[in-house]
A and B are shown apart, each in its own frame.
Chain A
Amino acid sequence: MRSFITIALNTFRETIRNKVLYNILLAAGVVLMLSMSFGDLSLFSRAQVIADFGLTTMSITGLLLAVFIGVGMLGREISSKTIYMIVTKPVSRESFIAGKFVGLFVVLVLNLMLIGAVFLISINLMDSEIRIKLGWAVLLIIMEMGIIVAASIFFSSFTTPTLAAIFTIGFYVSGHLNDLIGIGAEQKNNPLWSSALKIVYYVIPNLEHFNIRALVVYGLNIPQGYVFSAVCYGLLYIVLFLILSIMLFSGKDL
């Protein structure tokens, strides 16, 4: 447990000293500022536009952080051999993977909360009606990013950082298109293609479950228990990806 906490803390410290993090945060800040200006040009209310922009920005920011920092981190540990400092001690590879995930995820959560706080304040300043629902939306984005980080660690555990980054982005996109993949799988013109799509549909998590932007922006009701189910769904996939990462990483020659 102590080695796991040590690895997580070190990952956290390493990540918050990464310049990429601040560049992405700066970009997110600029987009949020722009959303305020766009609010005036939109047919919808200013608050709706800011909420829509804000949540999208958080999702994209999380993805960028997971890809640029998460993927690079494990690959860099292996290529720069700093991993030797850890795994040559009585530390299990399970602790290493779990520590890396937690360290990175905490940074991601803090950043998303920072962006979330900025944009919640800007919405409150405008006395908007969109309020608590935004908190749920942010929570689900955090869960989604947890899956992305776990997936990025999974891809990094068996391939190069470049390929892992491509796979992670592909995973994010296909996760959001999961419903369409499901519809495609129903077309029975080509059984082989249909089966392949079905496999993708069932294996890749449906990341749209974490997208309640439309409900929040248009003030619609979030079904009871929806957030809880989505969080459980997210946790399940995070654990699954971490187990797969550990299995692959345990047998890897370093």
Chain B
Amino acid sequence: MNVIELKNVSKFYRKDFWASRISAVTDLTISVKKGIVTGFVGPNGAGKTTTIKMIMGLVRPSRGWVTLYGKDAFIPGSRKGVAYLCEQPYFYAHLSVSETLHFAADLLRLPPKAITSEISRVLSIVDLSSKRLVKVKELSKGMQQRLTMAQALLGDPQLLILDEPMSGMDPPGRRLFRKLFRELVDSGKTIFFSTHVLDDIESVCDEVIVLSRGKLAFSGEVKTILNSGFQGTEMVVSALQKQDIDVLVQHGCVVGSYDHSQINLFLPAEGDLMKVQNYLFQKNAVLYSVSRRAKSMEELLYQKTDAGVL
């Protein structure tokens, strides 16, 4: 089931009345499946934020349809159970952390009796319980980002739409968010998030959508993409007899550097790893290490999107 769908969506802007139209998004058709993490990638100005704003009903598409759970995204009711986290945290300076969350909970129409416990729950998830009474403006940017996430988690939303959620975060914050994403998806939630960092895509996402100059450049499963970049297996084994090495070469192995104690072997992707491993086992060779050699996500997406997109 698709929770987000964009059909032939275009968005045009005019910088001023007399200026010609600028296309931010052109004929974009994408969908986001339920229960997975989908990454939304593209360089600056690719149209990611505009697309997310159209999904959240902040911007009306010039053409096409945007739906959330099958409803027009511009209808407020379609955002029920949907949380949004924007790149830059925006809060009312006069409110404290607790008041901010209370305000958000009221807007979400959470039962008044449940609000206090819900605030405690989300604050503990993002590790901000000790800052409950602190004014939002006194928090660091990273903490404000966590507060944005706490706000997004209020009311246990089924879909989280996150625009650059980890920008400006320190490594512990990034780790916390990555872990949280996995936990949320494991509990059946759907996450759609934009990012510049391809590492995030590799470590967190199940699917990726790549946008370039307002157009869809590529979309697919992260696992499939990564598998397509698999080049072979690298092994470091204990020294072998010359005839054993010849057999391994016959099995497709490429012998790298070796000395009297160990040999570096590389088996290309098309080789039979099982056969090689069995042979090494028969010869009582010690396997010091086994690792995958694969192209990075960046290289793969670079290839798949006609170079220069990322």
**Partner-B contacts on A (CB < 8 A):** 2-3, 6-7, 10, 13-14, 17, 80-82, 84-93, 251, 253-254
Q: Does B21 contact A (CB under 8 A)?
A: no
Task: Report the bound CA distance from A6 to B103 in whole Å.
Answer: 7
Are A88 and B79 in contact, CB atoms less than 8 angstroms apart? yes
- A2: nearest residue on chain B (CB-CB)? B109
Interface string of B280-300 (1 = CB under 8 A from A): 000000000000000000000
In the complex, chain B residues whose CB is within 8 Å of the CB of A3? 106-107, 109
In the complex, chain A residues whose CB is within 8 Å of the CB of B58? 84, 87-88, 253-254
CB A233 to nearest CB in B, in angstroms, measures 33
Q: Which B residues between 271 and 286 are near A, CB-CB below 8 angstroms?
A: none
Are A84 and B86 in contact, CB atoms less than 8 angstroms apart? yes
CB B96 to nearest CB in A, in angstroms, measures 12
Q: Which B residues between 66 and 87 are near A, CB-CB below 8 angstroms?
A: 76-80, 84, 86
In the complex, chain B residues whose CB is within 8 Å of the CB of A89? 79, 104, 107-108
Are A90 and B76 in contact, CB atoms less than 8 angstroms apart? yes
In the complex, chain B residues whose CB is within 8 Å of the CB of A91? 76, 107
Task: Report the bound CA distance from A88 to B56 in whole Å.
Answer: 6
- B155: nearest residue on chain A (CB-CB)? A89
A-B contact pairs, 7 of them (CB 8 A): A7-B107, A13-B94, A82-B90, A85-B103, A87-B57, A88-B86, A90-B108
CB A235 to nearest CB in B, in angstroms, measures 27
Q: Does B60 contact A (CB under 8 A)?
A: yes
> Which residue in B77, B90, B103 is a CB contact (below 8 Å) of A81?
B90
Q: Does B247 contact A (CB under 8 A)?
A: no
> Which residue in B59, B90, B109 is a CB contact (below 8 Å) of A85?
B90
Interface string of B98-112 (1 = CB under 8 A from A): 000001101111000
Q: Does B219 contact A (CB under 8 A)?
A: no
Are A17 and B79 in contact, CB atoms less than 8 angstroms apart? no
- Most B CB contacts (10 A, CB to CB) among A85, A86, A251 go to A85
Those 4 A-B pairs whose CB atoms lie nearest each other, nearest first: A6-B106, A88-B84, A81-B90, A253-B59
Which size class do B's interface residues fall under? 20 to 34
Task: Report the bound CA distance from A91 to B82 in whole Å.
Answer: 12
Q: Given contacts A2-B109, A88-B84, are A10 and B53 in contact (CB under 8 A)?
A: no
Are A14 and B60 in contact, CB atoms less than 8 angstroms apart? no
Task: Report the bound CA distance from A84 to B58 in whole Å.
Answer: 8
Task: Report the bound CA distance from A86 to B86 in whole Å.
Answer: 13
CB B129 to nearest CB in A, in angstroms, measures 21
Interface string of B237-262 (1 = CB under 8 A from A): 00000000000000000000000000
Q: Does B302 contact A (CB under 8 A)?
A: no
In the complex, chain A residues whose CB is within 8 Å of the CB of B94? 13-14, 17
In the complex, chain B residues whose CB is within 8 Å of the CB of A7? 107
- Most B CB contacts (10 A, CB to CB) among A7, A81, A88, A251 go to A88
Are B53 and A90 in contact, CB atoms less than 8 angstroms apart? no
Task: Report the bound CA distance from A46 to B255 in whole Å.
Answer: 109
Task: Report the bound CA distance from A131 to B56 in whole Å.
Answer: 55
In the complex, chain B residues whose CB is within 8 Å of the CB of A253? 53, 58-60
Are B91 and A82 in contact, CB atoms less than 8 angstroms apart? yes
In the complex, chain A residues whose CB is within 8 Å of the CB of B108? 89-90
Q: Does B88 contact A (CB under 8 A)?
A: yes
CB B180 to nearest CB in A, in angstroms, measures 19
CB B25 to nearest CB in A, in angstroms, measures 13
Q: Does B151 contact A (CB under 8 A)?
A: yes
Task: Report the bound CA distance from A38 to B91 in whole Å.
Answer: 47
> Which residue in B78, B90, B151 is a CB contact (below 8 Å) of A80?
B90
Task: Report the bound CA distance from A142 to B107 in whole Å.
Answer: 29
Task: Report the bound CA distance from A87 to B108 in whole Å.
Answer: 11
In the complex, chain B residues whose CB is within 8 Å of the CB of A81? 86, 88, 90
CB A34 to nearest CB in B, in angstroms, measures 33
Given A88-B58, A93-B76, A251-B60, 5 new contacts (CB under 8 A): A80-B90, A81-B86, A88-B56, A90-B79, A253-B60
CB B84 to nearest CB in A, in angstroms, measures 4
Are B107 and A86 in contact, CB atoms less than 8 angstroms apart? yes
Task: Report the bound CA distance from A14 to B266 in whole Å.
Answer: 66
In the complex, chain A residues whose CB is within 8 Å of the CB of B76? 90-93
> Which residue in B79, B88, B92, B109 is a CB contact (below 8 Å) of A10?
B92
- A87: nearest residue on chain B (CB-CB)? B58
CB B296 to nearest CB in A, in angstroms, measures 34
Interface string of B107-132 (1 = CB under 8 A from A): 11100000000000000000000000
- A92: nearest residue on chain B (CB-CB)? B76
Task: Report the bound CA distance from A171 to B109 in whole Å.
Answer: 38
In the complex, chain A residues whose CB is within 8 Å of the CB of B103? 6, 10, 85
Task: Report the bound CA distance from A82 to B104 in whole Å.
Answer: 12
In the complex, chain A residues whose CB is within 8 Å of the CB of B53? 253-254
CB A83 to nearest CB in B, in angstroms, measures 8
Are A82 and B109 in contact, CB atoms less than 8 angstroms apart? no
Task: Report the bound CA distance from A174 to B77 in whole Å.
Answer: 41
Task: Report the bound CA distance from A88 to B83 in whole Å.
Answer: 8
- B104: nearest residue on chain A (CB-CB)? A85
Q: Which B residues between 49 and 68 are near A, CB-CB below 8 angstroms?
A: 53, 56-60
